[in-house]
Chain A
């Protein structure tokens, strides 16, 4: 910046975190002994010193107005000495030292429309991407689907009545800015039609070699149109990943009729019990149906309810499915199994069943 001395400031990095830590954290840094979940949305951390820190976790929308951030700041001034933090899943946490302030804080947050919960065996905030709000490659809106799904699953945020943690994530295209690929339930927006090539614009704004080499399946090749160098797509080789659109804006993918959502299940990042796992395809496609995407909401709720009813204590979605087997997962959820569920990309054969370990049931009747 042109400061008073005229020097422009660059490369200073983020503010040093220590100045934002409340005194109780500075004092007990690295010396916490244990924690307890006192009730939904409320954690108590106890230091070796005996000090107690209370964290109250509230749902925050990832898309937040500065006016709401000011509200959170004011609430923090009133209840937690001005100290607060955000979680890795876009929740907000107020850091209290006075136990008596917990309930009034919860009341205040509820009144303002930011309910408390999302700790323990519950569904916490859905991490998500920009969607139609601000992204160029979105195949759906992110905030809208997330809002509709969480309205429906809301009791599971406020209570802790699931077998284990359940983490939902949303990404609005295969770029997966939300890295949904290791979530208990992933909602992934998909394009399903060929990029539309703007042959007039393409030679002006795209590099042909970069565009051609961007395709993971080699489906793009150079082509002359009206004496201008552009590209064409080998239709049967395109799997709609959108990588070409990222490097060449003249190859748009959005398609009002054919874009929509897919649902994936059984991923996790934690190492607890089972090793981390990818999410696997449950539902290949559900059309976009704004503003509340009722088909997506119903599909997610069904999977959550079947999991809640059938999984054993502590089991994550993927652990439960691994125990009962995929055939039973499809049967219990009533989800149709199609050819799209069978992998046909790199190393696809690794997922074919190559043993006799099958759970047969006797013929009916």
Chain B
């Protein structure tokens, strides 16, 4: 039980209701861990005062790594000495977040021995988050993790832990092997992941199809999103079965909702003008038994998305309309290296690559990394005449 001498009436209110309660979780850990008990206390205080009590700053880490640990201290250590230091470890998740029960128990054994027992499954970037331990315990925790086959993820101005949707492991729509690419990229860039050397963070996210289950287009400096070039695969009998069973109104639910109006339904046959299909996934999503992405599959490579800080939020922009995504992914890595070289040399402190591209101009960026501009990269050409012409002199 949590310390009865320090009641938590406000937090107790959040044990009520049908949704799983994080307060119940903290209390579970608090039964056997004094740091978790203190977390309850300091959080109750925040609920009373409407203010947080955590500080950042101070460089903590494990030997030879520049990231993976987030230093955290509370600002009232006299009241909560048990969590005066309460650092986070980011542990690199296996691609697709698949586990065996034994693997989870191994992680629990390590974290109950060396830390608070509180976790996030998972953090926003995808890592397994070990929430709270002392500076002294960092190296022993790391050693226990690596002995068990786990390693730290990224933090700071580094490659951040790549994440992938479940892809081919459990989805018929996966247009490339997302988990294989995530693992390959993670292993290729271990140095860039563990030793921050960039202007700011760099994230990779792999989604297997345009449904984008890992929000790659909104959250990755490089978004690798599956798509296809040939025709949508159609099982005519299965389309008819959707129609006759009444499960789908083909005209209303499918044809009318098509954003490129490339479909027609005559009551018997579904016609698709694949040359005008924008690969949005809607028709496939609503008739998964009848339609499937084509067989000539690969990915679109987009660059530059981010949250607002500093210059405003961005979505990723198309760089390579279609790439086959075959191992060892040399074409992809060549692009990555060219981009990193330019950005590392010219990017400002805390300038994400998307902001850097906006600052110098996409046209200039492409020219400097040696990528030909193509109309798929823009929604429309410029409408202003302020062109920086480069006329040869003499």
Residues of A within 8 A of B (CB): 1-3, 8-17, 19-21, 25, 29-30, 32-36, 45, 53, 55, 59-70, 72-74, 76-77, 82-88, 90, 92, 95, 113-115, 127, 129-138, 141, 143-144, 147-148, 150-151, 154, 157, 171, 174-179, 181-182, 205, 210, 213-214, 216, 241-243, 246-247, 249, 254-257, 259, 267, 269-274, 276, 278, 288, 290-292, 313-314, 345-346
Residue of A whose beta carbon sits closest to that of B49: A256
Task: Decide yes or no: A147 and B14 within 8 Å by CB, A20-B103, A141-B47, A346-B312 being known contacts.
Answer: yes
Which chain B positions have C-beta within 8 A of A178?
A: 124
A113 to B123, CA, bound (A): 22
B211 pairs with A270, CB closer than 8 A: yes
Task: Decide yes or no: A88 and B215 within 8 Å by CB, A29-B169, A35-B172, A61-B21 being known contacts.
Answer: yes
A16 to B380, CA, bound (A): 43
Q: How many A-B residue pairs have CB under 8 A?
A: 365
B117 pairs with A66, CB closer than 8 A: yes
Residue of B whose beta carbon sits closest to that of A148: B14
Q: Which of B54, B96, B101, B170 contacts A135 (CB 8 A)?
A: B54
B349 pairs with A210, CB closer than 8 A: yes
Which chain B positions have C-beta within 8 A of A131?
A: 52
A247 to B56, CA, bound (A): 10
Which chain A positions have C-beta within 8 A of B309?
A: 174-176, 241-243, 246
A114 to B107, CA, bound (A): 21
Which chain A positions have C-beta within 8 A of B11?
A: 291
A179 pairs with B281, CB closer than 8 A: no
B170 pairs with A272, CB closer than 8 A: no
A68 pairs with B99, CB closer than 8 A: no
Q: Which of A82, A179, A243 contacts B215 (CB 8 A)?
A: A179
A13 pairs with B186, CB closer than 8 A: yes
B49 pairs with A270, CB closer than 8 A: no
A64 pairs with B25, CB closer than 8 A: yes
A181 to B312, CA, bound (A): 10
Q: Which of B99, B194, B212 contacts A84 (CB 8 A)?
A: B99
Which chain B positions have C-beta within 8 A of A82?
A: 100-102
A8 to B105, CA, bound (A): 23
A73 pairs with B20, CB closer than 8 A: no
Which chain B positions have C-beta within 8 A of A55?
A: 170
What total of chain B residues lie within 8 Å of the partner, measured CB to CB? 129
Residue of A whose beta carbon sits closest to that of B279: A271
Which chain B positions have C-beta within 8 A of A256?
A: 49-51
A15 to B93, CA, bound (A): 8
Residue of A whose beta carbon sits closest to that of B306: A179
A291 pairs with B13, CB closer than 8 A: yes
A271 pairs with B14, CB closer than 8 A: no
B170 pairs with A13, CB closer than 8 A: no
A260 to B126, CA, bound (A): 27
Q: Which of B72, B100, B257, B289 contacts A136 (CB 8 A)?
A: B72
Minimal beta-carbon separation of B76 from chain A (angstroms)? 13
| B17 contacts the other chain (CB 8 A) | yes
A10 pairs with B93, CB closer than 8 A: no
Which chain B positions have C-beta within 8 A of A68?
A: 25, 28
Which chain B positions have C-beta within 8 A of A21?
A: 98, 169
Residue of A whose beta carbon sits closest to that of B96: A17
| B239 contacts the other chain (CB 8 A) | no
Contact with A along B44-72 (1 / 0, CB 8 A): 00110111111111000001110000001
Task: Decide yes or no: A1 and B103 within 8 Å by CB, A34-B288, A63-B120, A65-B25 being known contacts.
Answer: no
B132 pairs with A134, CB closer than 8 A: yes
Query: Interface with A: B141-149, B267-275, B334-342, B385-393, which one?
Result: B141-149
Residue of B whose beta carbon sits closest to that of A63: B22
**A-contacting residues, B238-280, CB 8 Å:** 252-253, 257-259, 278-280
Which chain A positions have C-beta within 8 A of B202?
A: none
* 14 contacts across the A-B interface (CB closer than 8 A): A10-B146, A59-B20, A66-B29, A69-B121, A84-B99, A147-B17, A148-B17, A150-B19, A175-B309, A182-B315, A246-B56, A272-B285, A291-B47, A292-B14
